[in-house]
Amino acid sequence: MGKHTGYIEYDREGPIERKPSERLNDWGEYLQTHSEDSMEKQGARCMDCATPFCHTGIQIGRSMIGCPTNNLIPEWNDLIYRGRWKEAFERLIKTNNFPEFTGRVCPAPCEGSCTAAINNSAVAIKSIERAIIEKGFSEGWITPNQPAIRTGKKVAVVGSGPAGLACADQLNKLGHLVTVFERSDRIGGLLMYGIPNMKLEKDIVERRVRLLEAEGIQFITNTEIGKDIQANELRESFDAVILCTGAQKPRDLSIKGRELKGIHFAMDYLTANTKSLLDSNLADRAYLSAEGKAVIVIGGGDTGADCIATALRHKCKSIVQFGKHPQLPIERTASNPWPEFPNTFSLDYAYEEASVQIGNDPREYSILTKRFVGDGDGYVKELHTVQIEKTTDQHGNTFIHEIPGSEKIWSADLVLIAIGFSGPEVEVLQAFALKQEKQQKMEAENDKYATNIEGVFIAGDVRRGQSLVVWAIREGREAALVCDKYMMSKIK
Ligand SMILES: Cc1cc2nc3c(=O)[nH]c(=O)nc-3n(C[C@H](O)[C@H](O)[C@H](O)COP(=O)(O)OP(=O)(O)OC[C@H]3O[C@@H](n4cnc5c(N)ncnc54)[C@H](O)[C@@H]3O)c2cc1C
Ligand code: SF4
């Protein structure tokens, strides 16, 4: 364990954030890596709680508990408390291919199920993870390792998000020849063109891709499977195919006025901004600017928050975010006990920044957009809304009611729709003749990563729906094992 009395002696040190007034002027990461000294103290707070939940990654009741990649958290907490960073690093990379991503963007379900968090504050697990992997890079402990033996089996991974990358990494380590196909111009999936630079700088993604390349993985960009290369052609050229194509089909808002100009999907806004930033530091103007505009983001989730942070950096005139749910409670409720992930109110980076730049938290709760109204020239001018409330009957069925008299008109000249994703794009799945469930999740016949087509596997958001980077990594790792078993069973 860490220090016997560590959790009594030391307070939790939260993430180190750059000041909003400073970071709003650039696109750099808002979080920073802690010093070794401070992390050793934070590791000491881990109290060897006998049955730790932080690393479990299991379902209890309706909730997933702990780290989905089963990171060996109590072990590395103890090791860094003792200054044994190299061993902590070795433990960390046993279970997580890309701690430099999760150490930055993971919502840290591990911390929600940390025993210290029952009546105190959780061990700073995510910050420790980031500090360990960054020390691994700076000390030169991470070097490309080609596998000693090649099996001669060839596998195609379609899609280069965290699921595809984790899958490719595992299969390459097992000695297979891996080619990753990506339709975009850069590798990384939503790590590259979804999560904004302020949360994950893109040279962190490229650093890992270079390493994977040096270890023998081949990356082919600007190539859409099912269009540039046909599914059959791919199946004939490779011993197995793993589809890690994500679930990026946006959910739309089919209400009056949706066709007006100035209404865009959040992902189009975020993707174009990152591409322009990387291509030309925004000099090419090949992005949708929010500069001087009254912006409304529809959708109360994290993608909406990322739009807010981006629009603030564009120097928007005003910004509001509509969410359909009420404000979350400050403390856990009885229906959301430890060790579940705490569904409580928090001030995400974007809201903190909005408070500094425009003077208020931009969130509006329990609000429903009824229609968009144009300015007569085809551009959006107004949103008409109503407040809503949820009620539950004696059978547990919930109903949404509009509150009479709560109608309101909001001015806007840029509207971003961030109400989630309806599932995977079906074209590539149809190209492989895969069966689909009603909710567009893929059917798995033999186990959860195999499909109805022999030698074709699926993993990541395409299988489980929009999720988290850490879940994509877990899925990629597990699917690689299933695929390896399949390919090796074919060796005579
Ligand atoms: C705006 C935004 C912010 C997010 N922020 C966070 C966060 O902070 N923390 C977190 O944990 N999670 C976050 N997520 C969720 C997380 O990014 C995803 O769950 C994760 O990236 C899923 O990984 P994946 O590999 O399954 O798919 P993706 O990352 O979606 O990658 C799929 C890839 O497949 C490619 N592809 C699709 N079809 C084809 C084809 N036919 N041929 C070739 N290539 C193809 C796509 O271009 C894409 O690059 C965020 C998501 C969004 C949208
Ligand atoms: S990957 Fe996420 S859940 Fe797992 S230890 Fe890191 S921050 Fe926690």
Per-residue pLDDT band for 47 (boundaries 50, 70, 90) equals confident
pLDDT (mean) for 220-227: 98
Q: Given the CA of residue 126, which atom of ligand 2 is nearest to it? A: 7
Ligand 1 nearest atom to the CA of residue 227, by list position: 41
Q: Which of 282-291, 392-401, 423-432 has the lowest mean pLDDT?
A: 392-401
User: In the predicted model, is pLDDT for residue 434 greater than 60?
Assistant: yes
pLDDT at residue number 469:
98
Q: Which of 15-24, 42-51, 64-73, 432-441 has the lowest mean pLDDT?
A: 432-441
Query: Which ligand is closest to the CA of 187, given by its number?
Result: 1
CA-derived radius of gyration, the chain? 23
Contact 71 CB / ligand 2 (< 6 Å):
yes
Q: Whose CA is nearest to atom 8 of ligand 1?
A: 105
Distances (CA, A) of 395 to 65, 138, 388: 28, 58, 21
Among 46, 53, 55, 67, residue to substitute to test ligand 2 (most atoms within 8 Å of Cβ): 67
Q: Is 460 in the pocket of ligand 1 (CB under 6 A)?
A: yes
Q: Report CA(272)–ligand 1 centroid distance (Å).
A: 15
Q: Minimum-distance ligand to the CA of 463?
A: 1
Q: Give the chain's end-to-end CA distance (angstroms, integer).
A: 48
H helix intervals, 174-265: 190-193, 202-214, 231-237
Q: Which atom of ligand 1 is nearest to the CA of 459?
A: 26
Name the residue among 389, 390, 372 with its Cα closest to residue 381. Answer: 372
Query: What average pLDDT does this structure show over 458-486?
Result: 96
Q: Tell how far the Cα of 54 is from the centroid of ligand 2, in angstroms.
A: 9
Distance 245 CA to ligand 1 centre (A): 8
State residue 440's pLDDT score. 41
> Higher confidence at residue 158 or residue 120?
158
Which of the ligands is closest to the CA of residue 420?
A: 1
User: Is ligand 2 within 6 A of the CB of residue 92?
Assistant: no
Does the beta carbon of 461 sit less than 6 angstroms from any atom of ligand 1?
yes
Instruction: Give the pLDDT confidence score for residue 63 in this predicted structure.
Output: 85
Backbone angles phi, psi at 392, to 5 degrees: -125, 130
Distance from Cα 246 to the centre of ligand 1, integer Å: 5
Contacts of 121 (CB under 8 A, 6+ apart): 11, 12
Spatial CB neighbours of 69, under 8 Å, sequence gap ≥ 6:
57, 95, 96, 102, 470, 473, 474, 477
Separation CA 361–CA 53 (nearest Å)? 34
Instruction: Answer yes or no: is the C-beta of 56 below 6 A from any ligand 2 atom.
Output: no
Q: Is 135 in the pocket of ligand 1 (CB under 6 A)?
A: no
For the Cβ of 304 lying below 6 angstroms from any atom of ligand 1, the answer is no
Q: What is the mean pLDDT of residues 74-97?
A: 97
Q: What is the pLDDT of residues 343-373, one digit of tens each?
A: 999 999 999 999 999 999 999 999 999 999 9
To the nearest 10 degrees (0 to 180), the angle between helices 73-81 and 125-138 is 60
**330-347: pLDDT as tens digits:** 999 999 999 999 999 999
Check pLDDT > 80 for residue 442.
no
Tell me the per-residue pLDDT of 284-329, one tens digit each, with 9 for 90 and over.
999 999 999 999 999 999 999 999 999 999 999 999 999 999 999 9
Q: Which of 198, 222, 469, 470 to mutate to test the pocket of ligand 1 (most atoms within 8 A of CB)?
A: 469
- The residue whose two tokens read 């270890």 is 215
Residues 27 and 203: their CA atoms lie apart, in Å, by 13
pLDDT bucket at 439, cuts 50 / 70 / 90: very low
Instruction: Compute the average pLDDT of residues 396-415.
Output: 95
Across all residues in the chain, what is the average pLDDT? 95
- Check pocket membership of 246 for ligand 1, CB cut-off 6 A: yes
pLDDT score, position 5: 85
Which of 64, 195, 434 has most ligand 1 atoms within 8 Å of CB, for mutation?
A: 195
Q: Is the CB of 472 under 6 A from ligand 2?
A: no
Our answer on whether the CB atom of 299 is closer than 6 Å to any ligand 1 atom is: no
Ligand 1 centroid, distance to 474 Cα (angstroms):
14
For the Cβ of 274 lying below 6 angstroms from any atom of ligand 1, the answer is no
Ligand 2 midpoint to CA 43 (Å): 15
Question: What's the 72 CA to ligand 2 centre distance in angstroms?
Answer: 10
pLDDT tens sequence across 119-141: 899 999 999 999 999 999 999 99
pLDDT in tens, 444-455: 544 689 999 999
